[in-house]
Amino acid sequence: MNKRCASVSKILPFSCVDGPGSRLAIFLQGCNLNCKNCHNPYTIGLCDHCGDCVATCPHQALSLVEGSVHWDEKACQQCDTCLQTCTRQSSPMVQRYSVDSLLAQVKRNALFINGITVSGGEATLQLPFLYDFFTAIKSAPTLKHLTCLIDSNGELSTAGWEKIAPWMDGAMIDLKAWGSECHTALTGRDNQRIKQSIQWLAKYGKLSELRLLVIPQHSDHLQHADELAQFITTLGDIPVRLNAFHHHGVRGDAQAWQSATKEDIETLATALTQRGVKQIIRPALYL
């Protein structure tokens, strides 16, 4: 029995956009970046149970019980008023799940999925849980065929990757900007460790996908196409997914940013292809 727990923002029993095939996707709460373009900003912070959201809920789905915010899932209408109220970029709907309870969900869906993807927030902030969860899956005769992937911002240390790598099939890493200054402006941190993570994962065959975010007038991949392409080609034959920025779910200044068009994506794709990048995945649709 494994009672180690994680703070979980959301679980999708069947997802076709969080890795190859049909996947059970688990979104953990908390992130160590503060991306202006984040489409799920309520997954960044941790609830401090201040209770500000309780009075604003129009469906009385929230209450304070012994100093902690309690969420009534049956009463909740998913109107997201609480998310808009929270100043900590958190959610009162976050739940604690043990390894065993999530393992039970995996077993119920095992016949219908190709694997599990743990995302966030930033999944690796809860590394001990990830380790126990993935080792439990890979140690179970009826589950070990399922692929275990992490969707990460790449901020984990090399020591952290070394610990989890034997039990994961791969990681999908976002590189939101090439230049450190641009990356800091977008996320609040530079990208030195992220680049190191990408290189380490590629070296040991654990980089499933590299993701580049295209934000017109704000991301800098095109301006640094030579350096970026050289970096990518040294990684081996790695799929590179170009993600188009859109406004859904974003906050603050990013609400006024221009959405990426098909032309924006094709311009970057062409620049990278001309410089030797082979596996480029384009968006399925543009919002």
Taking the C-alpha atoms of residue 23 and residue 11, their distance in angstroms, rounded to an integer, is 11
Domain span at 79: 48-93
154 found inside a domain: yes
**CATH number of residue 158's parent domain:** 3.20.20.70
- What is the overall mean pLDDT for the chain? 96
Distances (CA, A) of 270 to 8, 204, 208: 39, 28, 22
Residues of the chain where predicted confidence (pLDDT) is lower than 70: 1
Residue 67, domain member (yes or no): yes
Instruction: Check: pTM over 0.85? Answer yes or no.
Output: yes
Rounded to whole angstroms, how far apart are CA atoms 280 and 246? 20
Would you state the structure tokens that stand for residue 13, as one six-digit string?
């029993």
Q: Are residues 76 and 122 in the same domain?
A: no
In a domain, 286, yes or no: no
The pLDDT score that the predictor gives to residue 25 is: 98
Whether residue 177 is found in the same domain as residue 54? no
Q: What confidence score (pLDDT) does residue 286 get?
A: 81
Do 77 and 159 fall within a single domain? no
**pLDDT for the residue 1:** 67
Return the pLDDT at 176: 97
247 assigned to some structural domain: yes
In this structure, the answer to whether residues 77 and 215 fall within a common structural domain is no
Indicate whether 174 and 80 sit together in one domain: no
Clarify whether residues 105 and 209 are in a common domain.
yes
pLDDT of residue 102: 97
Given this model, what pLDDT does residue 80 score? 94
Clarify whether residues 70 and 106 are in a common domain: no
236: left (phi over 0), alpha (psi -120 to 50) or beta: left
- Based on the fold, state whether residues 180 and 264 are members of the same structural domain: yes
Domain co-membership, 68 together with 201: no
Domain count, the chain: 2
Burial state string for 158-168 with b = 16 or more CB within 10 A and e = fewer than 16: eeebeebbebb
Q: For residues 199 and 274, state if they share a domain.
A: yes
Amino acid identity at 262: K
Q: What is the pLDDT of residue 285?
A: 82
287 occurs within a structural domain: no
Question: 13 in a domain, yes or no?
Answer: yes
Q: What is the pLDDT of residue 249?
A: 86
Q: Are residues 87 and 150 in the same domain?
A: no
Kindly give, in sequence order, each residue whose CB lies less than 8 Å from that of residue 4, ignoring residues fewer than 6 positions away: 98, 99, 128, 129, 132
Specify whether 200 is located in the same domain as 265: yes
Which residue in the block uniquely carries the two structure tokens 């743990």? 118
